[in-house]
Homo-oligomer: A and B are copies of this chain.
Amino acid sequence: MTRKIKETLRQDHGSRLKKCLFRLVPLLETLQNYTRFDFISDMIAGTTVGLTMLPQSIAYAALAGLTPQCGLNSAFVGVFVYLFFGTTREVFIGPSSLMAILTYEYTKDLTNDHVILLTFICGCVELAMSLLRLGFLVELISVPVSSGFTAATSIIIVVSQLKGLLGISYKASNFLDNFVQIAQRLPQAHYGDVLVGVTGCVSLLFLRKLKDFSSVNKKSKIVSKIFWFLSTGRNALIVLIFSSIAHYYKTTTNKVPFTLSKGANGGLPRLELPPFETHMNNRTIPLKEMVQDLGAGVFIIPIVSVLANISIAKAFANGGMVRATQEMFTLGICNIANSLFQAMPSCGAFTRSAVASASGIRTSVANLYSGAVVMLGLHFLSPYFQYIPRSTLSAVLICACIFLIETDLVPLLWKENKMNLFTFLITIALSLCFGVEIGLLIGVVCDACYLLYLWARPDMVLEFQDTVTNPYILVRPNMGFFFPAVNYVYSTVNKIAITKGQSRFPFVFDCVNFKRADYTAVKGLVLLSKDFQRRGQELYFINVSNSIVSFCATLKSPLKCFRDRTEMELTICGAKMDPINKTEVTVINEVANEKDNSDKDEFETLMLSKL
């Protein structure tokens, strides 16, 4: 018998260990039921994503003001790590527009070594966040705030890429300065670049539209497939076409009529520790100073990357279950690994996930093939990266970003929830004026203030129990009762109770929603009770929880409590009241709907007519 139990326990222990291991390394669970069909699907999807990643990495590196090499370096390490630890098959860790723009923001006047150190610190912070189980922080960011944040980032990217499209160069000190600079330098625009850029944009938008045709056109399956493929691979396609044109010009006339991007060094990166000191302006800069130079970026970038990654994972996850803490852990490992290969900070990208999902991905093994494709590209295609026109990259970025601005949210939220619209717009406005991190922070604070405000101004239900013998007035806050509401509830009840005519009725305070005994709130009730006592007016409490009764007893200020409404009615009216007699009215507060206004008038009329 004992042996049996012990055996069961051992088995149980074993299975728990296995479960833990499976939770830590989801790949193990995936491989348990890996089929040939999974294998083929993953290979197709992984390769497609890999091919998308190559031009994307170069474009995002340009966005961050870095060499193409730096972008490419960050495109293969993350996927290999995510293969083991990732929870969502559609997520591919690599360079992303958000990370690029933020990296640019914090390292624009610094060295490449700063970027690599930033990647390392990001990884460490993400890892620390996962160990501290800070996954819940992400829950504090509402959709309007994260949409506003994304929209602002996209606008900043679009505006900052206009110079590439126009073939001009400048350094803007802030978002608005971009417009001033562009207006000043517009006459210097380079026609070759404008032509390539605009053609690129138009083609990309057209190819994007093709996808809609592919789903409409159900006659021919092959045409539909081709349309879909052209649409999905449009970035790689446009880059390929314009690079070929550049290559043609270079080899035939040795003069290209538009600006090309910086070439990549070629080959795979070296494996080495991230730089813990660097040289700038003929001076050695120690680690401490480097970190100071990076400023708030060492916190903002990891937080934003976690947020972005989890948002993407949530959008694609099967059943929507995302283990935020595990995602943070994985992202941390990815970025630490990235920093060993001279890469920029990375996280998942919505575009890659969309491609993977559309390509029929089955499991996260697809990461393996993406990584392999990027490595092969790095090895064999590097010499050709220099032929990519600068304005083509700008066109790719602009066309990717403009669709991240959810303009349709404005009419939707205007109609349905103006408070949400406010946070959406304030996040965008502050992000554009003072930087995306300020916008995000103030957006979250606005949301939090609104929720605190709800605690401070609870809806209150007023009932006038109209009987000939013993009428009474019942007051019930419609939610929990905590310190911010004490002043409001206290003065509202007192105000109603001393209104001419109402002071002769007994009052009943319903504590049904007041479960957790907050000290301030309990003191408020005691004070209220004393005020009624001083006025010689009756005040009863019903549905009082044990914790509040005991709290008042400890304070030596017992309240006149009844267990519930029936008991109270039996005692003060001598009989249980017929609910038909009740007139229930909600007292407005500022948050409530307009509807309640009429209720208030009604209540006032009613009160006046009764008294």
A interface residues, Cβ below 8 angstroms from B: 136, 138-144, 319-321, 324, 412-413, 415-417, 420, 447-448, 451-452, 454-456, 479-480, 482-488, 490-491, 494, 498, 516-520, 522-523, 527-528, 531, 534, 547, 550-551, 554-555, 591, 593
In the assembled complex, the Cα of A412 lies from the Cα of B534 at a distance in Å of: 26
B547 contacts A416, CB within 8 Å? yes
Shortest beta-carbon distance, A425 to chain B, in Å?
Answer: 13
In the assembled complex, the Cα of A571 lies from the Cα of B476 at a distance in Å of: 33
Residue of B nearest to A490 (CB): B320
Given that A527-B320, A550-B416, A554-B416 are contacting pairs, would A142 and B494 also be in contact in the complex, using a CB cutoff of 8 Å? Answer: no
A139 contacts B488, CB within 8 Å? yes
Given that A451-B451, A531-B320, A591-B516 are contacting pairs, would A484 and B139 also be in contact in the complex, using a CB cutoff of 8 Å? Answer: yes
B420 contacts A518, CB within 8 Å? yes
B483 contacts A519, CB within 8 Å? no
In the assembled complex, the Cα of A523 lies from the Cα of B147 at a distance in Å of: 13
Given that A319-B494, A531-B320 are contacting pairs, would A554 and B412 also be in contact in the complex, using a CB cutoff of 8 Å? Answer: yes
Given contacts A139-B456, A142-B519, 11 further A-B contacts (CB under 8 A): A139-B485, A139-B486, A139-B487, A140-B452, A140-B484, A142-B483, A319-B534, A321-B491, A412-B555, A416-B519, A420-B518
In the assembled complex, the Cα of A455 lies from the Cα of B494 at a distance in Å of: 28
A413 contacts B321, CB within 8 Å? no
Question: Could you say which residues of chain B place their CB within 8 Å of the CB of A523?
Answer: 143
Question: Could you say which residues of chain B place their CB within 8 Å of the CB of A522?
Answer: 416
Residue of B nearest to A138 (CB): B487
- Selected from B480, B527, B550, the residue in CB contact (under 8 A) with A454 is B480
In the assembled complex, the Cα of A319 lies from the Cα of B523 at a distance in Å of: 14
A-B contact pairs, 5 of them (CB 8 A): A139-B484, A143-B519, A413-B519, A416-B547, A479-B479
Shortest beta-carbon distance, A202 to chain B, in Å?
Answer: 30
Residue of B nearest to A487 (CB): B139
Shortest beta-carbon distance, A328 to chain B, in Å?
Answer: 14
Shortest beta-carbon distance, A596 to chain B, in Å?
Answer: 11
In the assembled complex, the Cα of A416 lies from the Cα of B518 at a distance in Å of: 9
In the assembled complex, the Cα of A427 lies from the Cα of B412 at a distance in Å of: 43
In the assembled complex, the Cα of A454 lies from the Cα of B487 at a distance in Å of: 20
